[in-house]
Structure 1
Amino acid sequence: MSEKNREGKRTARERLAVEREKQKSADKRRRTLIVGATVVGVLGVAAAIGVVAAEAGKDDGGEASGPVVAPSGAQGKDGLAIPVGEESARSTLTVWEDFRCPACKNFEQAYRPVIHELTEAGRLKVDYHLATIIDGNMGGTGSRTAANAAACAQDAGKFTAYHDVLYDNQPREVDDAFARTDKLIELAGKVDGLDTPAFRRCVTEGTHNAWVDKSATAFRTGGFTGTPTVLFGDKNIYADRSMTPAKLKRMVQDENK
């Protein structure tokens, strides 16, 4: 075989090898795009039905050390519920929520007026349970820090008002602004009489952090799939696509007849 022919074959083999490498790279990019599109689709579904709980469920800050200090008036199993409304109310709503959770904010904006109306009328009691799944899903500590601040507001008898302020000023899900205690104290200024030295100390020292972690553990082990989880009796009404504030009001009125 002539030197010219050998050179031609070697050049052809080299071109073939280059083409194969290009094909491998194209296949790899295509697989990456398919996986990325799948993830986006899954997240879109999660946003529609509520924020899905992280499998690990622990925030980047880890478990808080120190004693478990429940906020004033906490009730329920292990003292993990913050009650709002009359104890004698015939209807009870159990809400698992995360202050960084966009779906929780959507629920609050839609149902807050009727919930306030029914609790103030003595017809409904709401047991609020605080979770930290966005810390686990997105990273950060804002869910826990805000939950601790809300528990501090409960100590001051201002939970409901501060609870509403936190949702009205919720940062974007990827923004861990609630991890800053100065931000949480600033928001306390929107609630008459809340911004006191005792409240500031409770927030900055993380007085209820271990209690929040215990509540978050109860959420992870309770078989719940995401926040908000809103139980009327044993029924998760948030998962009921036909549920509306007006329908919830009728359900409570029926129980109070």
Structure 2
Amino acid sequence: MPPRFVAAGVSDKNEEGKRAARDRLVQQREREKARERRRRTLIVSAAVVGVLVLAAVIGVIAANSGGKGEKASGSGPVVAPSGATGKDSLAIQVGADDAPSTLTIWEDFRCPVCAQFENAFRDTIHQLESSGQLKVEYHLATIIDGNLGGSGSLDAANAAACAQNVGKFSAYHDVLYRNQPPETDDAFGKSSKLISLAGKVEGLDTPAFRSCVEDGTHNTWVQKSNTAFQNGGFRGTPTALLNGESIFPKKGNEPITVANLKKWVTEANKGKQPAKVTPSPTGS
């Protein structure tokens, strides 16, 4: 009997020791879980703080962007350039009013594909204008400013509208595309650059033109035109429509080429009289 009693007592103590060890292990695991939860909380909190700080910095940068940002906001009265036509006076027409066909072009002066289009088809378009077969309605957009930042699209469009006020839109439009900077270079965002290029168009660089460019006289008009572009369901710039039908980069299954453009205009004008011949736009 006594030995069995002693053995039972030893067994009970062993069981108690095991339970105590298990309890300590459970407590240690709970402490480790608590530490892990605190660590994760600190990481998440730090990330949230980082995001908030970044947002604050971005907000400060945006708030301190200054004059150009205010121009681009589209605030102020809408001042259309002289002779603007179309819905809400958002188009600038080149060519005779009674030309039998209309080419509608949406462009951005910073858009490199627009420059490629202009450089490829400029002479043909001017020939069709001057022979009375076609008039062109230009609409201006600022999508590159929105994609890459800066204000060159807006400022160049405003300057082109300033040129329109004295009947030199077409010549200045061509000069801008011939001298377009790389897409990522916001050179057109500098008034000095736009005024310097005006020197390539005879009689354009005047105090009135300079004031119009520097003051952003037509900025809100340009922004309204850009809004019309965004709401128009167009895929991008350039967009070219012949009598409302898309012809860029192709018309139906035919790609746009100089020969095809002439053919399409001839087909559209079949049975119609051309307008009176107008002088061909020029610019040095």
TM-score (normalizing by structure 1): 0.75
**Equivalent pair of 2:239/2:246 in contact (CA under 8 Å):** yes
**Are 1:243 and 2:240 counterparts?**
no
Any idea what SS the aligned residue of 2:248 has? helix
Distance 1:217 1:200 in 2: 26
Distance 1:226 1:255 in 2: 25
Matched-pair identity in %: 64
**Equivalent pair of 2:74/2:224 in contact (CA under 8 Å):** no
Q: Of residues 180, 183, 200 in structure 1, which corresponds to 2:193?
A: 183
Give CA deviations for 1:84-138 in whole Å, capped at 9, x if unaligned: 0001000100000000000000000111011000001111000000000000011
Give CA deviations for 1:156-196 in whole Å, capped at 9, x if unaligned: 10001000000000000000000000100000000000001
Regions of 4+ moved over 2 Å: 59-62, 254-257
Distance 2:111 2:227 in 1: 17
**Are 1:116 and 2:126 counterparts?**
yes
**Are 1:220 and 2:211 counterparts?**
no
Distance 1:234 1:100 in 2: 25
Rg (Cα) greater in structure:
2
Any idea what SS the aligned residue of 1:227 has? coil
**Equivalent pair of 1:60/1:139 in contact (CA under 8 Å):** no
Kindly state the Cα deviation for residue 239 of structure 1 after the two structures are TM-superposed: 2.9
Letter in 2 for 1:230: A
Distance 2:200 2:244 in 1: 35
Distance 2:69 2:153 in 1: 11
**Are 1:87 and 2:97 counterparts?**
yes
Q: Of residues 158, 170, 189 in structure 1, which corresponds to 2:168?
A: 158
Kindly state the Cα deviation for residue 237 of structure 1 after the two structures are TM-superposed: 0.8
Distance 2:226 2:259 in 1: 31
**Equivalent pair of 2:104/2:244 in contact (CA under 8 Å):** no
**Are 1:229 and 2:239 counterparts?**
yes
Q: Of residues 138, 151, 156 in structure 1, which corresponds to 2:148?
A: 138
Distance 1:254 1:242 in 2: 16
**Are 1:106 and 2:95 counterparts?**
no
Number of matched residues? 199
Kindly state the Cα deviation for residue 254 of structure 1 after the two structures are TM-superposed: 2.3
Moved more, 227-236 or 210-219: 227-236
**Equivalent pair of 1:108/1:167 in contact (CA under 8 Å):** yes
Q: Of residues 208, 214, 229 in structure 1, which corresponds to 2:218?
A: 208
**Equivalent pair of 2:142/2:226 in contact (CA under 8 Å):** yes
**Equivalent pair of 2:109/2:156 in contact (CA under 8 Å):** yes
**Are 1:171 and 2:181 counterparts?**
yes
Kindly state the Cα deviation for residue 256 of structure 1 after the two structures are TM-superposed: 2.6
5+ residue gaps, structure 2 = 1-67, 271-284
**Equivalent pair of 1:98/1:131 in contact (CA under 8 Å):** yes
5+ residue gaps, structure 1 = 1-58
Kindly state the Cα deviation for residue 60 of structure 1 after the two structures are TM-superposed: 5.7
**Equivalent pair of 1:171/1:177 in contact (CA under 8 Å):** yes
Q: Of residues 249, 253, 256 in structure 1, which corresponds to 2:266?
A: 253
Distance 2:210 2:74 in 1: 19
Where does residue 68 of structure 1 map in the other structure?
78
Where does residue 88 of structure 2 map in the other structure?
78
Distance 1:154 1:245 in 2: 27
Letter in 2 for 1:256: N
Kindly state the Cα deviation for residue 64 of structure 1 after the two structures are TM-superposed: 2.7
TM-score (normalizing by structure 2): 0.68
Letter in 2 for 1:249: K
